[in-house]
């Protein structure tokens, strides 16, 4: 069935399965209320629910709202309505990250006690200038999954200089000293449902930011802590977040947390092969449900998910 309203054309790549689990697995869907959900979010939520059901487990909903400057109550309200329209249910109460900053601070304190954090006073402009300077000597510029790595400008500041800048009120972020962190952890790996055993190489990200003045945590730290506290046994998410697992695996080891299984599923893309995204104004679930569409079962690729939830 094709709807009369203007729908984005998309295709779904192959879906893989985890081997049967010997125990019920808790999965999670963790959207950020920075915009309205689209078909990609619907697929991710239904996929997580299907994986939980197949193991006799439970779907957990988490609201990742640490970016208070971009998150909006109306978007969070729409998340609940969209998921209910999809036919999903979840554990209550819902964990909202903005209400649990103390949990992330506890993790930061532990990493600081291990001597693995340092304050970085560089602005984005400072970092770009340093990188541009290094571009004159390409052998000094290293690139990671997110682009050029932080050059380590503040890593070697002495204790007195750090204390002085903090006392002067200079804004700073907290970075993980990757070299020390890798030396503090044994060789690491994780298991992905599609790719099998993956050797963790978090050093490809360099000294990642784990907290900022305006946001006292980071995506990497918050999701790692949350997955542990919510007892998530299977993390399902898109392949666009596959590389982030290298960082999460290191944080698990440093903080003494359990490592869940992972299933990085393929992404829904539009007719041009671009993944659906809020910033690209992908058609929203709210628009689809307000068009009197009963469900997404008739949409390409969604029938298998619904069949898995009803079996």
pLDDT digits (tens, 9 = 90+) for 31-63: 999 999 999 999 999 999 999 999 999 999 999
CA distance 114 to 104: 16
Residue 258: CB partners within 8 Å, gap ≥ 6?
228, 252
pLDDT computed for residue 167 by the predictor? 96
Which range has the worst mean pLDDT, 22-31, 158-167, 173-182?
22-31
Give the integer Cα–Cα distance in Å for 45 and 225. 20
Residues near 129 by beta carbon (within 8 Å), at least 6 away in sequence: none
The pLDDT, as a whole number, for residue 283 is 82
Query: Could you tell me the pLDDT band of residue 1, with boundaries at 50, 70 and 90?
Result: very low
> What CATH class has 10-121+171-310?
alpha beta
Q: How does pLDDT run across 168-190, given as a tens digit for each residue? A: 999 999 999 999 999 999 999 99
- Angle separating helix axes 219-229 and 244-255, nearest 10 degrees: 60
Residue 92 Cα distances to 57, 59, 173, angstroms: 15, 11, 33
Instruction: Kindly report the average pLDDT of the chain as a whole number.
Output: 88
Query: Contact, 141 vs 148, CB < 8 A?
Result: yes
How large a percentage of the chain has pLDDT more than 90? 71
Place of tokens 């003045």: 213
Q: Indicate whether 19 pLDDT > 60.
A: no
Residue 280: pLDDT above 80? Answer: no
| Residue ranges per structural domain of the chain | 10-121+171-310
Which residue pairs from 291-299 have beta carbons closer than 8 angstroms and sit at least 24 positions apart in sequence?
291/3, 291/5, 293/3, 295/85, 295/86, 295/87, 296/39, 296/42, 296/46, 296/86, 298/1, 299/39
**Cα end-to-end distance, the chain, whole Å:** 22
* pLDDT on residue 102: 98
Sheet holding 95-96, edge to edge: 26-29, 58-63, 95-96
pLDDT tens digit sequence for 64-85: 999 999 999 999 999 999 999 9
């Amino acid at each position: 069935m094709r709807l009369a309203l203007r729908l984005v054309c998309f295709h779904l790549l192959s879906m893989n399965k985890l081997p049967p689990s010997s125990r019920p697995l808790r999965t999670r869907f963790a959207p950020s209320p920075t915009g309205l959900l689209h078909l990609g979010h619907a697929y991710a939520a239904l996929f997580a629910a299907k994986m939980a059901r197949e193991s006799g487990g439970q779907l957990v909903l988490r609201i990742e709202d640490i970016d208070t400057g971009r998150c909006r109550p109306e978007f969070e309200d729409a998340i609940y309505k969209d998921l209910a329209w999809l036919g999903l249910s979840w554990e209550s109460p819902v964990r909202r990250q903005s209400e649990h900053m103390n949990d992330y601070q506890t993790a930061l304190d532990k990493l600081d006690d291990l001597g693995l954090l340092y304050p970085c006073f560089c602005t984005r402009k400072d970092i770009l200038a340093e990188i541009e300077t290094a571009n004159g000597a390409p052998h000094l510029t290293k690139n990671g999954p997110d682009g050029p790595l932080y050059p380590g400008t503040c890593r070697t500041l002495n204790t007195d200089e750090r204390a002085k800048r903090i006392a002067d009120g200079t804004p700073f972020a907290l970075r993980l000293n990757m070299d020390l962190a890798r030396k503090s952890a044994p060789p690491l790996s994780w298991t992905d449902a599609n790719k099998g055993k993956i050797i963790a190489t978090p050093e490809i990200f360099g000294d990642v930011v784990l907290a900022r003045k305006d946001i006292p945590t980071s995506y990497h730290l918050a999701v790692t802590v949350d997955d542990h506290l919510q007892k998530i046994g299977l993390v399902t998410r898109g392949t666009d977040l596959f590389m982030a697992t290298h960082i999460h695996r290191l944080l698990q080891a440093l903080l003494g947390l359990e490592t869940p299984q992972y299933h990085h599923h393929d992404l829904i893309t539009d007719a041009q092969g671009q993944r659906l995204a809020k910033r690209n104004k992908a058609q929203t679930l709210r628009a689809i449900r307000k068009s009197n569409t009963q469900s997404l079962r008739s949409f390409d690729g969604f029938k298998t998910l619904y069949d898995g939830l009803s079996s």
